[in-house]
Chain A
Amino acid sequence: MKLCYTEKTDYDLAVMVASGNHDAFNVLLERYKNLVYSVVLRMINDKEEANDQAQEVFIKIYRHIEKYKPDYKFSTWVIRIATNHVIDFRRRSKNQMETGNLDDMEETVAATAPSPEDAYIAKEQTRMLTDAVESLPDMYKLPIVLYHQQGLSYQEISDVVGEPISKVKNRLFRARKILKENLVSIKRGESYV
């Protein structure tokens, strides 16, 4: 039965879920679990907590599935729920995002460098970037991760964060500048050592 579901659109599946079909929800879960987990992990930066919170996100998706309208892509709707959930979670727990534990981002970097030295440099550069991304405030981190990592368009990010495109562009512009300044200053600092 699930084989037939895989050919259905996200909206069709959402309608089926709202009529009590759990198999349809399982298909949606398989489609978007990595996306949701990645977004939550980027924002929380703690594997165990990200696992719990990403599961909570899916429960929220399940609870509100009747409200989904096909005006937006399902992925956009899902990311919006995920980001709002994490923001609420952090507000509730008053935990500021920790920096430094970036194993997960580093694990995902393809280790295809031709030599150990190049691999080390590539890893260091990625670590520098992930450090810089993690240190960004949410208002800048969210657009830059959604745009450059998740591949969302300006319009989709605008739908996710609930801000006009002009604001999204502006935040992305500033986020890039902050990241660039961080990387340049790190490099300059290193060159003095």
Chain B
Amino acid sequence: MCDKNLDLMMKYMDGGLDDFEKMNLEKHMEVCEVCAEDFAAYSQILQGFGEMELTEAPEGFAEGVMAKVTELDLYAPAKAKESRKSKVIDGLIFTGFGLVAAVVFGGGALALFGGEILGWVYGAGLYGIASFLAPVAEACATVVGNINNWSGNLFDLSRETMIFYSAAFLAVFAALVALQVHMSRRGARE
């Protein structure tokens, strides 16, 4: 095989032979039997590959793969992780809500019902707790008094209104819990 024509034949295999190159090659092959034989072989290779189509995957192939994929279900944890994340956020919100409630209503109760509470505690003989609660109740009473003074009694933090606020708070909290339960059930159905 002549080197120059080998390049041309490779170009032919790539489908990039122009008319001029093709004509030169044909002329050469009229006088060179070896190149003509090689060209016939290259053409056979090209034609043979052209006739080879994609072999169809056997019947049941896709079903077999999907059965394994369903069994593996690798990316389901992503959903669970998302769900866990959302549960943690919900938990934090509720805990925060609960802490605020404990501080506000616990403090409010100590400020407004401190005398009664301390009486029950002393009565029960829990002197240690009582000695801790006494200054706390006093501080809470000061805070409530200050809030009433600063707000010009806007919030009216008296015993009656504190009971009203507590009831309202509990109603809102119950509504939030109901909403959360509803959303969780809907998420589980999806």
A-to-B contact residues, CB < 8 Å = 17-22, 25-26, 29-30, 33-38, 41, 47, 51, 54-55, 58-59, 62-63, 104-105, 107-110, 122, 125-126, 128-130, 148-149, 173, 176, 179-180, 183-184, 187
**Which of B46-54, B84-92, B115-123, B132-140 makes up part of the contact surface?**
B46-54
Complex contact B75–A183 (CB within 8 A) = no
Q: How far is the CA of A104 from the CA of B56 in the complex (A)?
A: 10
Q: Which residues of B contact A (CB under 8 A)?
A: 10, 13, 37-38, 41-42, 44-58, 61-62, 64-66, 68-70, 72-76, 78-79
Do residues B49 and A148 form an inter-chain contact, with CB atoms below 8 A?
yes
A18 near B75: Cβ-Cβ < 8 Å: yes
Q: Is A47 a contact of B62 with CB atoms below 8 Å?
A: no
B74 and A183 contact, CB distance less than 8 A? no
Give the docked Cα–Cα distance between A51 and B56 (Å). 11
Which of chain B's residues has its CB closest to A185's CB? B41
Are B41 and A62 in touch, CB under 8 angstroms? no
B-side contacts of A20, CB under 8 Å = 73, 75-76, 78-79
Q: Which residues of A contact B79 (CB under 8 A)?
A: 20
From B45, B54, B70, B75, give the contact of A34 (CB < 8 A). B54
Where chain A touches its partner, the secondary structure class is: helix
Contact A179 B45 (CB under 8 A): yes
Q: Which of B70, B74, B78 contacts A63 (CB 8 A)?
A: B74
Are A55 and B70 in touch, CB under 8 angstroms?
no
Residues from chain A with a CB closer than 8 A to the CB of B46 are 148
* Contacting pair B10 A55 (CB below 8 A): no
Contact, CB under 8 Å: B42 / A180: yes
In contact, B69 and A22 (Cβ under 8 angstroms): yes
- Chain B, Cβ-Cβ closest to A62: B69
Q: Is the CB of B48 within 8 A of A129?
A: yes
Distance to closest chain A CB from B37 (angstroms): 6
**8 pairs, A vs B, C-beta closer than 8 Å:** A22-B73, A25-B66, A36-B57, A51-B58, A59-B65, A110-B51, A148-B13, A149-B49
